[in-house]
Chains A and B, each alone.
Chain A
Amino acid sequence: MTDLRTCMNKSVLEERRPSICDRRENGISCERESVSGAVSQRACVYCGARVVLNPITDAFHIVHGPIGCASYTWDIRGSLTSGEDTFRNSFSTDLRETDIVFGGAKKLTAAIDELMENINPAPKLLFIFATCIVGVIGDDIEAVCRTAEARYGIRVIPVKAPGFSGTKSLGYRMACDAIMKLILPHANQPKRFGVNILGDFNLAGEMWIIRGYLEQIGIPVISTITGDSSYKTLLLAPSATLNIVQCAGSSAYLAERMEAEFGMPSLRVSFFGIEDTTNSLLRVADAFGRPEISANARRFAAERTAQILPVIEKYRPYLEGKRAAIFVGGGFKAISLIRQFNELGMEAVVVGTQTGKKDEYEVINSLVNSGTVVLDDANPAELERFMMEKQADILVGGVKERPLAYKLGMAFCDHNHERKQPLAGFEGIENFVKEIHKSINSPVWKYI
């Protein structure tokens, strides 16, 4: 096998090299700013904040800034709602040249007034996202929000998320802080038996699937913070017994804060793949110390596993031995995917994330084979280089990575925020296997 460092010389920027490693090396450089000109796949602070708050379905998410940021985040995620669909609209103050010169706070105030006058029934919850230039031109959006709260008796929560102020992870934290701001005044409620689900965006109804499992084994779900949530249901969150955290990258911080403020413990879960789904269900069930719930969870997981195994067995001969490349947003998802590929007899040969954390990379390293290349904040050139080097058969990634895989003659699995089929839970396992099979064994590859 070619030595990784030799391999890097050809097409990896000097500054990027510490962020690429394999098992034979210690540590990876991560949680850093992106390198200028390296063509990072990451988005920005605003993006992080926007995606976490987005599934609050009855909130008005107003983007204070020039139009681009609002335009590019309009209804692009597959979060489903059982109630309002206000969140699928894009509201922006659409700042123009004169606003930049004279300040945009007045326009923001006017926009809020206009909204309150025109929307019936009156909005109850507004998030005001400040993008890059708002801070630079000195709009005091906190003051605008305070005034609006007082004037209308509603919640208007500022989210100061200029893109340049850090990475997407910082945006997640800002969103978590905004949620805390919303629920903190409701800290004192009688406790209820049940969990909050954090960090599941209800993409393609995945949160509904997971909630269904929990309810089936006897665990009520009190509030779902980042998927199909509403102002009303969010306020119930402080009353739950336990937080379960699916997308750790976006919501672990919220769980920490809720633990600090409400004394609410939390568990990390993942519902991707048989192993993770089963373990998560058992872990959550056992956390309650009620034998009947634990027994239910075991029975349920065993039943569903027995149902899904034949599906996997059916496809396995067609997938066994294939090599996968993974490039996803967070480390936790990458870990789940590595396990899921192992369940199918496939090997992860390239694993990268946009914003993985140190401890997550340690887990990744412990799961992969020695030759697997692990990258933090990879760029297209690196993905291309290592996917070709490692002869990956398929890439699992986001929308931007898809055309690259195809141009390299490689199969692709859409595992992104736009997905329209659930990939979580037992239902998701079947979809995932089929998705992999449909692409990797497609006849089209014979003709290129």
Chain B
Amino acid sequence: MINLNVNPCKMCMPMGAISALWGIKGCMPILHGSQGCATYIRRHLSTHYNEPIDIASSSLTEEGTVFGGEANLLKGLQNMIDLYNPEVIGVCTTCLAETIGEDVNAIVKTFCEQNRNLSVKIINIACPGYSGTQNEGWFAAIRSILEQVEPNTTPNNKINIITPLISPADTRWLKNFLTEMGVDYTIMPDLSDNLDGATEKNYNRLKTEGTPISEISAMAGAKLTIEFSEFTDERNSTAEYLKEAYGVPYAKLPLPVGVRGMDKLIKVLTEAGGVATYKVRKARGRYIDAMIDSHKHNAKAKAAVFGEPDFVSAIARLCCENGILPVLAATGSVSPKLRETLASEIDECREYHFADKTLILDDSDFSAIEKACDELGANLLIGSSDGRRISHKFDIPLIRCTFPIHDYVGGQRVRMLGFDGSLNILDQAANAMLEKVEANFRTELHSKFYKPKTEDKTTTHPCFGEHACKNARVHLPVAPECNIQCNYCLRNFDCMNESRPGVASKILSPAEAFERYAKLKETMPNLTVVGVAGPGDALANFDKLRETFRLIREQDPIVTFCIATNGLLLPQYVSELKELGVSHITVTVNAVDPAIGAKIYKHVYYMGKKYTGVEGASILLANQLAGIKMLSAEGMVCKVNCVTLKGINDHHIYEVSKAVAALGAYMVNIMPHLPVKGSEFEGLERMTNKDIMVLREKCGVDIKQMKHCRQCRSDAAGTLDEDISIELRESVPEKPQTEKPRRFAVATKTGAIVDTHFGQANEFYIYEGDEKNTKFLETRKVFKYCDGPQCDNKEERWQSVISAVSDCEAVLAMRIGPTPEKRLKENGIEAITTYERVETAVSEAAKKRRNVYGVT
């Protein structure tokens, strides 16, 4: 905005004048104005420099404003002398003093007349806050000091050094550098010790370091003045004043930053009798070397540089030398010359960057700077800590290297001059770029170029990827209905005692399912897969399926969706499944011959009609095969489950496997049939693990085999090895009462749940119990019965098991193979498979035993 400055990128003249006064030995400043000016400036300086900053104020009041502040100022001067005993007093005016027309010269004269034996030198500096920024105040103070100190024109072969505001550390560097070059100099002001002081035994509230008045006097007799400013003019240039008043020649140089800045300084010093020593030449060489090292990193940088003109021009040049594009060079000062100084240089750099636009602003504010940063895509800020808000807003790193720095420590130690200082800035810039790249390149490139393929999701799907066991899945039981009846299946979702497909303890609504997912995700960050696997057919409950996945997808854009289906409705829903983001589909195909299918499927409901026999099996088969083909065409991953039923399809499995492989299925899971009590195939003999392994090996020639199936429940949750679905259930039915305790051996890893396969048990927990109460007796170690997939039947292990459980009525295990079940039975021990809390399982078993065998 034109008439409104929004977030100033400048301060006022008194700030600069006071800053300069801190570089004079034994100086104490006073602001002729109202109390606040001193306090605000003190606050700004002390947080930047971390030094005590005492600034007196004449504390002008209403009365002083109306009738003149002479009395206030006279009293103030005396009080300062009493309190600080200074060698120099700098009287700076303010907006107020200038506006009411205070004649500070006259007041100071009066003071000196009143105090004849005064040993203090009083300098007055006109610095109305409305006439310029701290930069003008700084130069005004220096010039005023020179104008008001008695000159000593005796030639002294020294070089006068005038700088804009630089840090104490940079001042120290400059002094050392001049010494290294072998020149004798007077630097004025010299902030190096007063604003970066040491902790010492005795604190002196007066700043006793800095340029002494005697040396300032001698500046009139110097052989040369170097003024590090491209922006001073005849009004405020001390170099020009010394030339005009005492004939001291001068050179105006940019700040010694970067190669060109330093070369210019070295040249002038050499001409003035200095020598670029081996150390200096080496430092230059190292600097060039470092520039080269980081040039490509810096070529990524688009910097917004802001501050006072000399700072901005020095840093913008440094940027250009190193291939950093200064997209914005901005100053809060009125300085049209900034544009002239930098335009061609920045244009050249812009060409190198093929950039459209750069900006040079003067009389600017931070709202304009923020806007420009946004428009020009700045990715680096170089300036004061006042840029921190832009830095936070746009997440752009900020190199804090000029006054004021309020949010970091070390303002007094900022380095930007010389080869080392320039490198300090360059390294920070390069490292800021590296940091961004390092932190982001993986995700950036991934999201830019990587198109998620289902193959990728396959590796993190615990059922599809063998090495994905660390990933958890949840089966959401939202699909109660089924449209076919398999003879091996009993969809009994009230039963809690089984762990096998088709079983769920409770049907969830889509909303409840979402809630369960969301809750699980909180505690299970490795939950990468959400599946719907019944207890009915996922596609026979498509509305619920769709709603469930929609709810989850809203919250989680990446989780993998999978479903299990009999395939009857697959052709109808493939495209919609794809839209929903379902990537993995398991189709259970038990036969590719309708005659065999007819033995397996009792009936098939299709399009409102019930089909049986070969007719039903044919319809199902046709849809299964068509569906699998469509899935493969759509790039969706299809696993085919095949339940091996002894005497029904065990000789036919290879055909099934080969057929689905030809249609593009990804994997086949040949599973043994788990006989379910009450189902049609209840009495069917089981396949041994060995039989299954043989089948898998044979079929594996054509298609990938799943070997790690756990035949999960429809409401399974967690990793394949650790089903926690039991914990999600809401209540356990109450047990009816009974009497005498019976003894059971329980296969459990944790002691909490019957969670172990009989053959895998290392030990048994021995319990006694009736319907009401259970009591833990002891644990008994055994050799593992089943050690590996082949279940190598070693007799000694078996003996160990039998002896461990011989006094028990039954063994409770999650699952048990047919052979051991038979052998236990021979020993009069029942095998009960269950997946339940141990105590509940024991009670239930006791109840069952009583019902079957009566009271013992």
Contact = CB atoms under 8 A, between A and B. Distances in A.
Contact of A43 (B11, B39, B62, B129): B39
B46 A403 contact: yes
Interface stretch (B30-38, B655-663, B688-696): B30-38
A72 B44 contact: yes
Max count, chain A CB within 10 A of own CB: residue among B8, B49, B53, B61: B8
A35 B83 CA distance: 12
Interface in A383-439: 384, 398-400, 402-404, 406-409
B99 A137 contact: yes
A42 B35 contact: yes
A58 to B, nearest CB: 16
Contacts of A158: none
Contact of A163 (B36, B100, B203): B36
Interface in A160-187: 162-167
Given A118-B1, A380-B205, A163 B37 contact: yes
B47 interface: yes
Given A92-B8, A107-B3, A67 B129 contact: yes
B64 interface: yes
B62 A89 contact: no
A167 B3 CA distance: 30
Given A100-B99, A111-B4, A408-B203, 4 more contacts: A67-B11, A132-B95, A166-B62, A400-B46
A68 B203 CA distance: 31
Interface in B101-134: 128-131, 133
Interface in A352-381: 379-381
A47 B78 contact: no
Interface string B38-71: 1111111011011111111111111011000000
A133 B98 CA distance: 9
A166 B129 CA distance: 21
B2 interface: yes
Contacts of A406: 50, 199
B94 interface: yes
Contact of B8 (A42, A90, A165): A90
A400 B75 CA distance: 24
A36 interface: yes
A43 B40 contact: yes
A183 B732 CA distance: 62
B439 to A, nearest CB: 25
Interface string A78-97: 00000000001111111111
A320 interface: no
Contact of A400 (B7, B8, B43, B72): B43
B59 A89 contact: no
A11 B204 CA distance: 13
A36 B75 contact: yes
Interface of B: 1-8, 10-12, 14-15, 30, 33-44, 46-47, 49-62, 64-65, 72-73, 75-80, 82-84, 94-96, 99-100, 128-131, 133, 197, 199, 203, 205, 367, 386, 389, 406
A75 interface: yes
A164 B64 CA distance: 9
Given A34-B57, A384-B203, A448-B199, A165 B62 contact: yes
A400 B53 contact: yes
Contacts of A13: 79, 82-83
Which 9 residue pairs of A and B lie closest in terms of their CB atoms, listed nearest first?
A: A44-B36, A37-B76, A37-B79, A163-B34, A68-B12, A72-B40, A36-B76, A66-B130, A94-B5
B1 A115 contact: yes
B30 to A, nearest CB: 6
Given A43-B40, A44-B35, A400-B43, A37 B80 contact: yes
A292 interface: no
A93 B36 contact: no
A403 to B, nearest CB: 4
Contacts of B49: 403
Given A93-B5, A136-B99, A164-B96, A33 B59 contact: yes
A45 B828 CA distance: 99
B52 A407 contact: yes
Contacts of B95: 65-66, 68, 100, 131-133
A62 interface: yes
Contact of A47 (B39, B53, B65, B76): B39
Nearest to B74: A36
Contact of A96 (B11, B54, B130): B130
B39 A89 contact: no
B112 to A, nearest CB: 16
Given A72-B44, A89-B7, A163-B96, A381 B83 contact: yes
B40 A33 contact: no
B46 A402 contact: yes
Nearest to A42: B35
A35 B62 CA distance: 14
Interface string A201-217: 00000000000000000
B15 A37 contact: no
19 contacts: A36-B56, A37-B79, A39-B54, A39-B57, A39-B80, A45-B36, A66-B130, A67-B5, A68-B95, A71-B8, A74-B8, A88-B389, A107-B3, A111-B1, A113-B3, A163-B35, A164-B34, A379-B83, A400-B46
Nearest to B5: A94
B66 to A, nearest CB: 9
Given A136-B65, A164-B34, A409-B199, A70 B8 contact: yes
Given A66-B129, A99-B130, A407-B203, A37 B35 contact: no
Nearest to A40: B35
A111 B46 contact: no
A403 B50 CA distance: 6
Contacts of A15: 79
Given A36-B76, A114-B1, A404-B52, A75 B389 contact: yes
A38 interface: yes
Nearest to B40: A72
Given A74-B8, A97-B131, A133-B99, A43 B36 contact: yes
A46 interface: yes
Max count, chain B CB within 10 A of own CB: residue among A43, A74, A409: A43
B34 A71 contact: no
A68 B11 contact: yes
A71 B8 CA distance: 6
Contacts of A118: 1
Contacts of B61: 33, 164-166
Contacts of B76: 36-37
A40 B36 CA distance: 10
A296 interface: no
B55 A69 contact: no
Contact of B55 (A39, A70, A94, A166): A39
A68 B134 CA distance: 9
A305 interface: no
B52 A403 contact: yes
Given A67-B10, A68-B129, A40 B203 contact: no
Contacts of A89: 6-7, 367
Contacts of B14: 68
Contact of B59 (A36, A111, A115, A408): A36
A114 B128 CA distance: 27
A171 B97 CA distance: 21
A47 B36 contact: yes
A110 interface: yes
A321 to B, nearest CB: 25
B131 A110 contact: no
Max count, chain B CB within 10 A of own CB: residue among A36, A132, A137: A36
Given A13-B83, A37-B77, A66-B95, A71 B10 contact: yes
A90 to B, nearest CB: 5
Given A35-B59, A67-B12, A136-B99, A114 B2 contact: yes
Contact of B41 (A38, A72, A408): A72
Contacts of B38: 39-40
A73 interface: yes
